[in-house]
Structure 1
Amino acid sequence: MFAELFNFKAKSNREILAGLVKSGLEASHADGMTAIRTMNHTWVVDQIFKAHLSGTGHGYDAANTPQTPNLGELCAKIDESDAWFIDYATSLTPEQLQERIDFSFTDGKRGSMTREEILLHVITHGTYHRGAVGLILLRSGVTPPAETFTRYLHEAQPERRAAR
């Protein structure tokens, strides 16, 4: 199930970023800056939790970067991260999903979650913030993509639309 959810996340990220490109909003515009920084935040949080899952350091002391990346660079970084999570989620056994990982949040407070809980957090966290970016797009005259899992499933597997 997680592999499917991360494929959905990747598709949703591509669609919202394409909408942002279409909008013409750049970091020089207040709404563009907010949207790009919001999507950058989701990428940073993904990287932090990727490090926790991998047992490596992440080097972040905050949930966003001081500098705002350009939109093209951000799109590439998110695509790469999404591919990693798809591969990772596909490789886990049910036993591995239940393994508990202890870590520190960027504020220094301790945390502990199972791999399954971390993966669910990464999925839902991105969904929340893509919704906010969708509202920015709507205000800018660009219809945001309909981000629903049902739409994703029926586009990815059109045979599900066949009558029984």
Structure 2
Amino acid sequence: MDTIIKMFEHLDWANLRILESLKTTGEQNSAAKRLLSHTLLAEEVWFNRIKGLDHNPHGIWTELSLTECSNLMEKNKQGFSNLLMGLSEIKAEDLIVYKNSTGKEFSTSVKDILIHVALHGQYHRGQINRYLREEGFEPVHVDKPIGHYFTVSMEKCPVGPPILILRKSQIPLTPFRFNHFLGNNVVSS
């Protein structure tokens, strides 16, 4: 479940970055806004399916205002956060029976639904970035590595050789950045 929780932390972070970007472009990019609306409405539909609540699959392509997107984003974040906090590995394997928009019945595990929701959003955020680029706007960086961010520095030690210091940061420390910092003295295992 830890990986799925991290996927939803990323989903929340990335959705917010996209929303903030669309606020700066105004109402100019309707296709991007429609995709963000769809992503958020789909999250809501899947959450409602998991909880056994009614949902309206025919409205999944409704274009919301940016204020409505923001409100739904917060609602989805709270709903999934509460769901994930109380979800055990065993409960994650429970099957959810639901009907799609054409009325066809399916049965899918909670875990598989959660993975689908996270990946569905990432797919559409990529499309949103394509639309932003086509309209002359800077795409939004939503490829955040899962894990902690660190900065690297060498500091003098009162006694002995300098030591390598890792500090939490807002910048991801990728293997490339770490190896680049250390130069050619890196030994791979």
Q: Same fold (TM over 0.5)?
A: yes
Shift of 1:126: 0.5
Task: Indicate how the Cα distance of structure 1 residues 118 and 153 shifts in structure 2: closer, same or farther if over 3 A, else same.
Answer: same
- Corresponding letter in the other structure for 1:39: L
Partner residue, 1:43: 40
Quote the residue 1:15 is aligned against: 17
State the structure with more CA Rg. 2
1:62 to 1:109, Cα distance in 2 relative to 1, 3 A: farther
**Structure with the larger RCO, 1 or 2 (CA within 8 Å, 6+ apart):** 1
In structure 2, which of residues 168, 171, 174 is the aligned counterpart of residue 158 of structure 1?
168
Contact 2:57/2:100, CA 8 A, preserved across alignment:
no
Pairing of 1:6-155 with structure 2 (within 5 A): 6-24=8-26, 26=27, 29=28, 32-65=29-62, 68-150=63-145, 152-155=146-149
CA distance in 2, matches of 1:141, 1:18: 17
TM-score normalised according to structure 1 size: 0.83
Partners in 2 of 1:33 and 1:77 — Cα distance?
18
The alignment yields a C-alpha RMSD, in angstroms, of: 2.3
Paired residue secondary structure (2:127): helix
More strand, by proportion:
2
One-letter identity of the residue aligned with 1:43: L
Contact 2:98 2:106 in 1 (8 A): yes
Moved over 6 A (4+): none
Q: 2:47, 2:131 → 1: CA distance?
A: 28
Report if the CA contact (8 A) 1:63-1:106 is conserved: no
Q: Which amino acid aligns with 2:24?
A: K
Maintained 8 Å contact 1:100/1:113: yes
Q: Is 1:5 the equivalent of 2:15?
A: no
Give the distance between the partners of 1:142 and 1:131, measured in 2 at CA: 14
Superposed displacement of residue 39, structure 1? 0.9
Indicate the percent of aligned positions where both proteins have the same amino acid: 23
Counterpart-to-counterpart distance in 1, 2:149 and 2:124 = 23
